Structure 1
Amino acid sequence: MSVEKKIAVVIPSFRVRNHILTVISKIGPEVSRIYVVDDFCPEKSGEFVELNCQDTRVSVLRHLENQGVGGAVMTGYQAAIDDGMEIIVKVDGDDQMEPHLISNFVAPILAGEADYTKGNRFFDLEEIRAMPKLRLFGNSVLSFMTKLSSGYWDLFDPTNGFTAIHRDVAKHLPFTKISRRYFFETDILFRLNTLRAVVMDIPMDAKYGDEVSNLKVSKIVGEFLVKHARNLIKRIFYNYYLRDMSIASIELPLGVLLFLFGVIYGGYNWVYGLSIGATASSGTVMLSSLPIILGGQLILAFIAYDISALPSRALHKRISSFRKYSEKK
């Protein structure tokens, strides 16, 4: 893979001074530019890189206040776009990721098969034994929640920060709306789905060293639940009512209404029957159970439709085709 492909790497830098130079040294010649984003790091990692790194591809970008990993990545994305880079890869600075895999992440995008690629540490069942059990469970739960909110049902390991994106897709992301902190990786998937971008998992091994995570699961569970629910509602509205209408647009509200009617009606009559010591009639039971069954079936039908509705044609290829057509006119 040649340098002419204009591949850039963005490295958010916050409390990774002990690892950042090692990460940079592992980045191969296929990469044209490296953006180290000092996210108001208390260890002054940006200054440390400038003083100790001789790689001419490296540019240090600084934040005057801490913006979180999302803010750092957006700063790197914008710099790469301004410099005319074609593919933008994001690698963490804690040396948990292997930069020699960059070619694997870039290849599907260059081939027109994907707009955005991300790592998946769960591909090899033998390798995930190295992952701490609590983190493994947490990732499984987060993956299911992300499937619901983002619409990418074929993806796993949503918090994986090893990613690559095509410039033309990055340009269309709402930089000011994307979550700036730990919800960033998940939120960007939701944004990509609203653009109908193709996202692909890239297998990689789990790697854990002496790095210290700044993420406290107990503090973000509630926040993540709220944001996932918000993104799910937005995605359904955007994809099934604002931009397009399909049979699924009818199945979901009808299914929810029937299900809720059955639950509320049945619950009310059950409580009422207990209070007077009477047994519900067969008609009452049918009138409550039938809507629940039908509603559940309609909701499952909507989910099946949603799973089958994954984007299949890369957005950047569509943008390129439209651009060529416009130039001919």
Structure 2
Amino acid sequence: MNTSPRVAVVIPSYKVIHSILGVLAEIGPEVSRIYVVDDCCPDGSGDLVEKSCNDARIMVIRHRENQGVGGAVMTGYRAAIADGMDVIVKLDGDGQMDPGLIPFFVSPILDGEADYTKGNRFFDLAEIGAMPKIRLLGNATLSFMTKISSGYWDLFDPTNGYTAIHRDVLRHLPLNKISRRYFFETDMLFRLNILRAVVVDIPMKARYGEEVSNLEISRVIGEFFVKHCRNFAKRIFYSYYLRGMSIASIELPLGVAMFLFGSIFGSCQWMNSISSGQASSAGTVMLSALPVIVGLQLILAFLGHDIRSVPSKPFHLLKRNRYLDAHASGVQDAK
């Protein structure tokens, strides 16, 4: 009986006919199945793969309507789960991701160190120069927003789509609710945090050729900001009020209330002072400044707690241990 872990690769395919065959050729023997999801590609990338590749591991899945990169990945995920794959790697077909790194993405998951691994092109500072400056700035901005909304403060490079995930974690994610477009990568992190899954960065080099990215950060940053705010609010509610409470549950609302009161009250008094020409009293100044200072300290204390609360115990091992404990208990009862 072969008990070795089965690794699958999901490749969303849309306007990548000039590079996808090269990507497929580089995928090593450690991969058991390859799912190429033709997301209603106008260039017929699915047909190209079927005609040009004889690799028995490859399965082409077609969408009748374009569902976006997130929708294509979700389709591949469902197929991999149905086929009993243990670890599923998401790889783009544009040639920017080196398939030779697949073992490095899979190993932390199989070794029980992570539930989800994610590429980080910023790990080596010497490699950052290869990234276009506007993309670098956009990624830095999106990265900061992702840290706040997802709760994974130790991660970077949120738009990097080179990822791997354990099957048991994937099965507990609401795949039908995850964003279908470019936000799906950061939305995945939000959903993973709700599960308390462990996410680990994997250093990788950026490979940039003549391909043109379909993601224009200047166009999506406003949309991403709104969605990040929504996910942040949901995460705070789920983690600090619905699922459990701690001192941080009090620090955040109290800190925000005091900071806003001090800021608004102080601004009103400052404008009144300007219009009347009379200086505010020392008591008025203290009544404005003290809530701002104390409120800011409480907010910083909450952030410190949130940063220390990054998940550290892999979810798929906890689920497996609970199953084994329940099974062992059943065996003992039977005896």
- Normalised to the residue count of structure 1, the TM-score between the two structures is 0.98
Instruction: Tell me which residue corresponds to 2:200.
Output: 200
Instruction: Tell me which residue corresponds to 2:324.
Output: 324
The structural deviation recorded for 1:216 is 2.0
Deviation digits for residues 237-292 of structure 1, max 9, x if unmatched? 00000001011000000000110110011111111111111110000000000000
The structural deviation recorded for 1:233 is 0.5
Instruction: Tell me which residue corresponds to 1:126.
Output: 126
The structural deviation recorded for 1:3 is 9.1
Match runs of 1:1-329 below 5 Å: 4-328=4-328, 329=330
Deviation digits for residues 72-98 of structure 1, max 9, x if unmatched? 010000000000000000000001010
The structural deviation recorded for 1:218 is 2.5
- Point out 4+ residue stretches in structure 1 off by more than 3 angstroms: none
Q: Is the Cα–Cα contact under 8 Å of residues 3 and 32 in structure 1 kept in the other structure?
A: no
> In structure 1, the residue corresponding to 2:118 is in which secondary structure?
strand
> In structure 2, the residue corresponding to 1:141 is in which secondary structure?
helix
Q: Mind listing any 5+ residue stretches in structure 2 that lack a counterpart?
A: 331-335
> In structure 2, the residue corresponding to 1:126 is in which secondary structure?
helix
CA distance in 1, matches of 2:42, 2:324: 47
CA distance in 2, matches of 1:113, 1:63: 35
Deviation digits for residues 122-155 of structure 1, max 9, x if unmatched? 0001111111111111111111000000000000
CA distance in 1, matches of 2:80, 2:176: 17
CA distance in 1, matches of 2:226, 2:326: 42
Aligned-pair RMSD on alpha carbons?
Answer: 1.0
Q: Is the Cα–Cα contact under 8 Å of residues 196 and 311 in structure 2 kept in the other structure?
A: yes
| Letter paired with 2:215 | L
How many residues in Structure 1 have an aligned counterpart in Structure 2?
Answer: 328
> In structure 1, the residue corresponding to 2:65 is in which secondary structure?
coil
> In structure 2, the residue corresponding to 1:11 is in which secondary structure?
strand
> In structure 2, the residue corresponding to 1:65 is in which secondary structure?
coil
Q: Which moved more, 1:210-219 or 1:129-138?
A: 210-219
| Letter paired with 1:265 | F
| Letter paired with 1:89 | V
Deviation digits for residues 37-71 of structure 1, max 9, x if unmatched? 00000011111100111111000011110001110
| Letter paired with 1:202 | I
Q: Is the Cα–Cα contact under 8 Å of residues 142 and 221 in structure 2 kept in the other structure?
A: no
Question: Alignment identity in percent?
Answer: 66
Q: Is the Cα–Cα contact under 8 Å of residues 121 and 157 in structure 2 kept in the other structure?
A: yes
